[in-house]
Chains A and B, each alone.
Chain A
Amino acid sequence: MEQNAITVYNLTKHFKERKAVQDVCFTIRKGEIFSLLGTNGAGKTTTIKMLCCLLKPTAGRATIMDHELGADALKIKRIIGVSPQETAIAGHLNTRENLVLMGGVFGMRSNEAKKKATQLMDLMELEDRKDQSRKLSGGLQRRLSIAMALMSDPQILFLDEPTLGLDPHARKSVWNYIEKLKGDKTILLTTHYLEEADSLSDRIAIMDRSRIIESGTSSELKKKYNTRQTLNITAKNIRPSEIEQLRQKGMNVVCTATGIEITGANPDFYTLVDILRSGQVDIEAINMPEPTLDDVFLALTGKEAQA
């Protein structure tokens, strides 16, 4: 039995001369949260638009739950839910009406749609208010947008920048709701927030200039691109002579408020401790901070992503 929910092979989209997506390949397993991470204009949204049957690929192929992209558009649309980059809600309708509307356009009966709307409002903690949804806060509108994408009980959920423009508190709250869906839905999420991809995803693909340049789990990527180890040493009485000795051993030493920081490809830990002990330095702590996805992104693209 096919375990991949989405298989993408050499997917390409050109808008006249501009290459928006070029030879993109990836697979997403059923029940997995897969993030496409990249800066603005990297090609994430265009990729999602092709997979949602909104744009016709220039080349390549993809299958969604074994349905061929291009040949089975209507079948694909029945099993996907999409929350676009903008909130995409009907502003003059209230929360419940928005949800019931989505049920209706998927062909659900009125009673069935109302029941499902109630379930989703409980899941996403959306109040049954009479207010028109355009008056809701940004965070609530995002949650409503995701709930609308869930109305048809889709097997696959596409979330295009689900927390774009939200403050950190509202962003974390949206993450909690996405976490609740983990395992039950296959989710393809695009983001340019590294922390978001790191926190939510089972696997990540990094896009840059229309292509996927690396993919794997967060820890795999960090391990692979952890080329710059850092040691933070908290100590009270480090003298210039010890620092000089460390530098003579090829270590890159920087003085900090609490001690020293040593960076390098592979600092020799034993030599370091010997030198400090021989100088009777009072070492309080030695820390080796975990590499971040930011380090990976920087190593791959040469540019900072939004943290």
Chain B
Amino acid sequence: MKVLSLASRNFKEIFRDPVTVLLGIAMPVMLMFLFSSLFERSGIDIFSPTLLTPGVVIFSYAFIIMFSAVLLAKDKQSSFLIRLFTTPMKPVDFILAYILPFLPFALFQTLVCMLAGYLLGAEYTQLLPMLGIYLMVALTCICLGVAMGALLTLNQISGVGSLLITVISIFSGAWMDLGMVGGVFETFGYALPFAHAVDAVKDLFKGIANNGTLHHLIIVGAYMLVFFLIAIFSFRRTMRKG
């Protein structure tokens, strides 16, 4: 009940902020239409709606990092979090209440992006495993946001968050094939979970899921677990500091 009350409030905070909805949903869709127009003109395979959709979905999650970080940092700055810390809620209640409301938001982003891709001609297969991969990446991003919100100030978040969105945009392989670029670009891109998630979903769509796909999933899962632990650690640290 306690978790649901706070989670419900956080859900309302997200959806009642028009900027959140506009940036998190409209922008990825807009980019999808822009890049798919490139496919029509150039015929480059990576911009085909089917292969573009996974990258756009993962890119849209980058905004969740910002939103979850900003929500928590705002609550910290306005002392709302202090008020909550004086209630009988436990650390685990807080973590869940700040993570759970972003899952429906991520699902909504995913469905809107996929619908846009479908309208542009994308074909999807193996929807359930695909949603599982998206869920893992969404959780990774939410936990990263919660950790940032707990540790950083609002001003710091705007800087770090912009940097992260840029990094995810470039190194997720959403708009380019990292393997073709090669070098440091490829090494750095595959050191992060986002390119692995994009590749795993692309494998599913191409119907070539194999050991390579499993390797991608292990890396995405490991990142999810690590960021979940970092989020818990960061939140507990904030609670201790009062």
- Closest chain B residue to A152 by CB distance? B87
Q: Which residues of chain B are near A53, meaning CB under 8 Å?
A: 86
**Is B88's CB within 8 Å of the partner chain A?**
yes
Q: Which residues of chain A are near B78, meaning CB under 8 Å?
A: 86-89, 91
- Closest chain B residue to A108 by CB distance? B1
- Closest chain B residue to A81 by CB distance? B86
Specify which of B12, B17, B82, B89 is in contact with A105 (CB 8 Å cutoff).
Answer: B89
Known contacts A92-B13, A97-B12; A107/B1 CB under 8 A: yes
Contacting pair B4 A104 (CB below 8 A): yes
Q: What mask results when residues 6 to 19 of chain B are scored 1 for a CB within 8 Å of chain A, else 0?
A: 10110011001100
From residue B85, how far is it (CB to closest CB) to chain A in Å?
6
Interface size range on A against B: 35 or more
Which residues of chain B from 67 to 96 have any CB-CB distance to chain A below 8 Å in the complex? Answer: 78-80, 82-89
Query: CA of A74 to CA of B91 in the docked complex: distance in angstroms?
Result: 12
Q: Which residues of chain A are near B4, meaning CB under 8 Å?
A: 104
Contacting pair B6 A88 (CB below 8 A): no
Contacting pair B2 A90 (CB below 8 A): no
Contacting pair A93 B82 (CB below 8 A): no
Q: What mask results when residues 132 to 157 of chain A are scored 1 for a CB within 8 Å of chain B, else 0?
A: 10000000000000001100100000
Contacting pair A88 B87 (CB below 8 A): no
Contacting pair B79 A88 (CB below 8 A): yes
Q: Which residues of chain A are near B8, meaning CB under 8 Å?
A: 101, 104
- Closest chain A residue to B9 by CB distance? A101
**Is A84's CB within 8 Å of the partner chain B?**
yes
**Is B5's CB within 8 Å of the partner chain A?**
yes
**Is B104's CB within 8 Å of the partner chain A?**
no
Contacting pair B12 A92 (CB below 8 A): yes
**Is B242's CB within 8 Å of the partner chain A?**
yes
Contacting pair A88 B16 (CB below 8 A): no
- Closest chain B residue to A106 by CB distance? B87
B9, B12, B240, most chain A CB atoms within 10 A: B9
Query: CA of A101 to CA of B7 in the docked complex: distance in angstroms?
Result: 10
Q: Which residues of chain B are near A120, meaning CB under 8 Å?
A: none
Contacting pair B9 A90 (CB below 8 A): yes
Contacting pair A104 B6 (CB below 8 A): yes
Which residues of chain A from 57 to 85 have any CB-CB distance to chain B below 8 Å in the complex? Answer: 74, 77-78, 80, 82-85
Contacting pair A104 B2 (CB below 8 A): yes
Contacting pair A107 B2 (CB below 8 A): yes
From residue A143, how far is it (CB to closest CB) to chain B in Å?
15
Query: CA of A104 to CA of B9 in the docked complex: distance in angstroms?
Result: 10
Specify which of A78, A90, A104, A132 is in contact with B80 (CB 8 Å cutoff).
Answer: A90
A88, A89, A148, most chain B CB atoms within 10 A: A88
From residue A117, how far is it (CB to closest CB) to chain B in Å?
13
Query: CA of A101 to CA of B9 in the docked complex: distance in angstroms?
Result: 7
Query: CA of A144 to CA of B196 in the docked complex: distance in angstroms?
Result: 48
Q: Which residues of chain B are near A286, meaning CB under 8 Å?
A: none
Known contacts A74-B88, A92-B16, A105-B2; A148/B83 CB under 8 A: yes
Contacting pair B88 A77 (CB below 8 A): yes
Which residues of chain B from 151 to 202 have any CB-CB distance to chain A below 8 Å in the complex? Answer: none
Q: Which residues of chain A are near B12, meaning CB under 8 Å?
A: 92-93, 97
Which residues of chain A from 222 to 279 have any CB-CB distance to chain B below 8 Å in the complex? Answer: none
Specify which of B17, B85, B89 is in contact with A92 (CB 8 Å cutoff).
Answer: B17
Specify which of A54, A83, A91, A101 is in contact with B85 (CB 8 Å cutoff).
Answer: A54
Q: Which residues of chain B are near A77, meaning CB under 8 Å?
A: 86-88
- Closest chain B residue to A98 by CB distance? B9
Which residues of chain B from 1 to 38 have any CB-CB distance to chain A below 8 Å in the complex? Answer: 1-2, 4-6, 8-9, 12-13, 16-17
From residue A53, how far is it (CB to closest CB) to chain B in Å?
7
Query: CA of A104 to CA of B12 in the docked complex: distance in angstroms?
Result: 15
- Closest chain B residue to A74 by CB distance? B88
**Is A49's CB within 8 Å of the partner chain B?**
yes
Q: What mask results when residues 39 to 61 of chain A are scored 1 for a CB within 8 Å of chain B, else 0?
A: 00000000001001111100000
Could you list 12 A-B pairs, sorted by A, with CB under 8 Å?
Answer: A54-B85, A55-B242, A78-B88, A82-B83, A82-B86, A88-B79, A88-B80, A88-B83, A90-B9, A101-B9, A104-B5, A104-B8
Further contacts, 8 of them, CB under 8 A, given A52-B86, A55-B242, A77-B86: A78-B88, A82-B83, A87-B79, A88-B78, A92-B17, A101-B8, A104-B1, A104-B6
Chain B residues close to A by CB (< 8 Å): 1-2, 4-6, 8-9, 12-13, 16-17, 78-80, 82-89, 240, 242
